[in-house]
Structure 1
Amino acid sequence: MATLILVRHGRTTANASGVLAGRTAGVRLDELGQRQAAKAGERLAPVKLAGVVTSPLERCRQTSRALLAARPEDAPAVPLVVEKAITECDYGAWQGRALKDLAKEPLWRTVQTQPSAVAFPEGETMLTMQTRAVAAVRRLDAAFTAEHGADAVWVAVSHGDIIKSILADALGMHLDLFQRLHVDPASISVIRYTDTRPFVLATNTHDGDLSWLNPPAKKRRTAKAAGGDAAVGGGAGPGEPAPARH
């Protein structure tokens, strides 16, 4: 199966001011968020991408454009697709409110300790959020595999709680444990789905070479090439990092 790179959007004006933006229109990256998105694009520049899929919200579209702008001039064009199913959680009446005020609400405690039981007033449940997001990325991953082969690599640009819920599913974690995960603005996480299980290759990374995600010139028997089996003892890893780009 293909490999999924999850990118959270860069920091926004709402993030910086401590407001739960939710699906509010017009929330954009601030100056730091723009720099974060550009850096994520630089990290992804050496990776051969089959496509970029983005949440429809502006902050994710901005981040996606920054990722594509960093592609080498001679690299093949990468299609950009909008996918509603990976949009932000519908926080309902919580949307647009300050986090410091929401922390005083009785529901806040449940959000922290038992997310699977949370239904946001006038919004969706966190379980519904996870279900739609996981179904979408698994469907898209299968589509990229069918079109581009098992070595395909693709990007989904989404939101903190969405990415955390996808990672929790891949790790076999109950949704009630997903608050143990951390996903920063413009961070990169990586999942490789297989016929047997997902492999979580990275979470919440901010630096480091990503060219190892490209298929090797000569295939060797790794977890990916072994039909989704785990390498007993840990395996040999992805090999030599690519030379630094100047």
Structure 2
Amino acid sequence: MATVLLLRHGRTTSNAAGILAGHQPTELDDVGRAQARRAGERLAGIPLAAVVSSPLIRCRQTLAEALPAVTPAVDERFTECGYGDWTGKELAKLAKDPLWKVVQAHPSAVTFPGGESMAAMAARAVAAVREWDATVNAERGPDALWVACSHGDVIKAIVADALGLHLDQFQRLMADPASITAIRYTATRPFVVRLNDSGADLTSLIPPKKTRKRRTAATSDSDAAVGGGDTGGKI
């Protein structure tokens, strides 16, 4: 079967501000545009059989920077999770909501108030990536590569499925802005070939200094940022 390159959008103004963007039309900031261009440099020379995008502008801007000569197909199933009433709120404040602990420990049980369930998000995303992969494989053969540009939680859900993990384990995964995760699907099992690969220098693993101005979304080091967040990795 073919290989999908899951590209997360570059950093947005909401990521930088610690806001859960959800379906809001938040755009890339200057760092995000640079991240997207660097992703494009990494993709240069790869013969892509298809390029698919979430409909949200931050993904379309990422592809415009990374692959300016390509007009991507748009698939609603790759859009961000519908966070409902959580949309547009500060992650630091959301971390105090009782639902936050459920999102961390038991996401398969979570339906965001006024929004979507995480299980529904995962189901639509996995169905989309498998359907697109089967189509690419049928049209271009098992050696074909294609790109899907999406969002942190969506990519994590797809990776969890590929690894055979329950959705409740997907918070153990990371998908940094403009990172690439590669999954090769076969008749019997998927292979996760690359995971959260941004080509970054290893100094990006040094945790950023925490200040009052730059509060993280989590109340502890064990919490995952809903929506994927911005880990502070260097360009």
Query: 2:65: which partner in 1?
Result: 66
Query: 2:77: which partner in 1?
Result: 85
1:147 has 2:135 as partner: no
Structure 2 length as normaliser, TM-score? 0.83
SS in 1 for 2:175: coil
Query: 1:163: which partner in 2?
Result: 155
Deviations 1:165-198 (A, max 9, x none): 0000000011001000011000000000000000
Query: 1:225: which partner in 2?
Result: none
**Aligned mates of 1:182, 1:2 — CA distance in 2:** 23
SS in 2 for 1:21: coil
Query: 2:33: which partner in 1?
Result: 34
**Aligned mates of 1:44, 1:164 — CA distance in 2:** 21
**Aligned mates of 2:50, 2:63 — CA distance in 1:** 11
Deviation at 1:146, TM superposition (A): 1.0
SS in 2 for 1:191: strand
What letter corresponds to residue 67 of structure 1 in structure 2? A
**Aligned mates of 2:112, 2:3 — CA distance in 1:** 32
Deviations 1:3-54 (A, max 9, x none): 00000000000000000000012x1000000000000000010211111100
**Aligned mates of 1:153, 1:144 — CA distance in 2:** 8
**Aligned mates of 1:137, 1:55 — CA distance in 2:** 12
**Aligned mates of 1:66, 1:3 — CA distance in 2:** 22
Deviation at 1:79, TM superposition (A): 4.8
What letter corresponds to residue 2 of structure 2 in structure 1? A
What letter corresponds to residue 44 of structure 2 in structure 1? A
What letter corresponds to residue 93 of structure 1 in structure 2? D
**Aligned mates of 1:133, 1:177 — CA distance in 2:** 16
**Aligned mates of 2:187, 2:71 — CA distance in 1:** 26
SS in 2 for 1:60: helix
Query: 2:12: which partner in 1?
Result: 12
How many corresponding residue pairs?
Answer: 200
What letter corresponds to residue 23 of structure 2 in structure 1? R
SS in 2 for 1:40: helix
Deviations 1:186-222 (A, max 9, x none): 00000000000000001001118xxxxxxxxxxxxxx
| 1:199-218 equivalent positions in 2, closer than 5 A | 199-207=191-199
- Give identity over the alignment, percent: 60
Q: Specify the structure having the higher radius of gyration (Cα).
A: 1
**Aligned mates of 2:35, 2:120 — CA distance in 1:** 30
- Structure 2 regions of 5+ residues with no counterpart? 201-235
SS in 2 for 1:50: strand
Query: 2:227: which partner in 1?
Result: none
Deviation at 1:149, TM superposition (A): 1.0
Query: 1:127: which partner in 2?
Result: 119
